[in-house]
Amino acid sequence: MTKQTKLFKGIASALALTASVSAWAVEDQDFSSMQMQGVEQVEVKVDLEGAAQRLSQAVQFPTISNQDRSDFDEEAFNNYHDFLVESYPLVHKTLKRELVGDPRPFSLIYTWEGKDPSLPPAVFMAHQDVVPIAEESRDQWEVEPFSGEIKDGYIWGRGSLDDKNQIHAILEATEMKIKEGFQPERTILFVFGHDEEVGGPEGAKHAADIIEQRYDKIAFVIDESAPLIPGVFPGIRDNTALIGIAQKGYVSLEIAINGIGGHSSQPAGESNIVALAKAVEKVEAAQFPYKIHDAVRYQYRFMGPELPEDQQPMYKAVAYGENDSISDLEQKFIDVMSQNQVTRAMLHTTTAVTMFNAGIKDNVLPPAATAVVNFRPMPGDTPEVIIEHVKKAIGDERITVRDISASTPATNVADPNGEGYKMLEKTIRQTWGNDLIVSPFFVIGGSDSKHFQARDFAPDVYTITALQLENVKEFEGFHGVNERILVDEYGRSIGFFYKLMDNLENL
């Protein structure tokens, strides 16, 4: 039995336990489908063979973001930038290109001037960098990870799915539009960060700082997130396009002890390693409480009516509940969702012990030991709140706690009823048809757009990877082995951005 099947059955069981529900204001709310109807699918003709070859070549540049930031391959990024200039001549003739970043200027801002400079611009985002290849996984790859090989109808390699496909789909569409004589009504900015995989503190954050100084407001932002995947959400077998409307924050804390080391033949009553291990265990045990966020309520306002009818009372309660109280049905929702690691993460600030370091020799007691714990905060759980929570959980003055990350708070929530969301749904349906469910969702990870979405000058930031995957298993290539995308689906991604540029004219 799959996790999704178990979760589906768990939901049904939870509802069966609720024999009756008292009357409340939620019952008066409309809970009918909010799916857009009657959108005509549009085929956009692209140079698919040429586009696939260009993406294949792009994958061959190992633009890796390592956790150790001193390990940075400047040549790979410089060569990739030269390749972009060579591959998209009209883009680089028409748009202004800037290299930005602090301290390393390897992120790209492209400015496509609009006809009406009074209109707030739109921002299209993607990132150049990729995660490393784990050495122990190399023999599991069917192709060399940076070969960009095209075989069996796929483009293979690190970055083909995350996230060079989106950079190149945007640039392919732009090259096409410029060749046709198109100029956008409003200015469009492309922001391609170089360190998204380590939080974007050098690249996208710096780009957001620059853009905030230039513009009072950004009308629309699109960045990567979840691709279109059938069966990705429990209870829905249909194809689903999830549009991120908010993102959790990011905080990493170093938990450390510095004491007296010595010879292993004369151990103290408690070693530094044991003391730190106990502290980390306390932190992991002190989980943050569950709560239902506004973005989750919006998600079930759109998705709930598409789920089986016997589940809808619970989802309706979630969609229209109050944040300062939890009803019986909402508690059932929390009880069920907390049994699945993905849906559980939507409901609280998560705690993940990710690194532990101590000792240099088998007969030496280390004088210090450190651990790193990564948190993905819900709104309201600031770094200060998390640090205080951790210190209280540990309750040991020997242990120090400090923030070692480019911490970012949970973001604002984009409007799922606004014109930007509607334009995005229309473009999705024009590209992939109407036989799919489109819904907002709360992003438990994060992307470079968080550096815009956490600021008031960019109120409507939406995230989706504009690419259709065949099944959930294909998503395992995201940071995993055998990362690949279908050539034909890459062509549709280019068509998506082509149509999005048209639809922006009516925003």
Catalytic residues: 129, 196
Would you tell me the crossing angle of helices 3-17 and 328-337 to the nearest 10 degrees?
160
d(CA 314, CA 328) in angstroms, rounded, equals 9
Asked whether the beta carbons of 88 and 110 are under 8 A apart, the reply is no
d(CA 402, CA 407) in angstroms, rounded, equals 12
CA 312 to chain centre: 28
What single-letter amino acid sits at 390? V
What single-letter amino acid sits at 337? M
CA 43 to chain centre: 28
d(CA 324, CA 293) in angstroms, rounded, equals 11
For the chain, give the longest Cα–Cα distance.
79
Other CB atoms within 10 Å distance of the CB of residue 104: 17
H helices present in 312-418, as ranges: 312-320, 328-337, 341-345, 383-394
d(CA 89, CA 55) in angstroms, rounded, equals 16
Helix (H, G, I), strand (E, B) or coil at 256: strand
Helix (H, G, I), strand (E, B) or coil at 213: helix
DSSP state of 201: T
What single-letter amino acid sits at 243? I
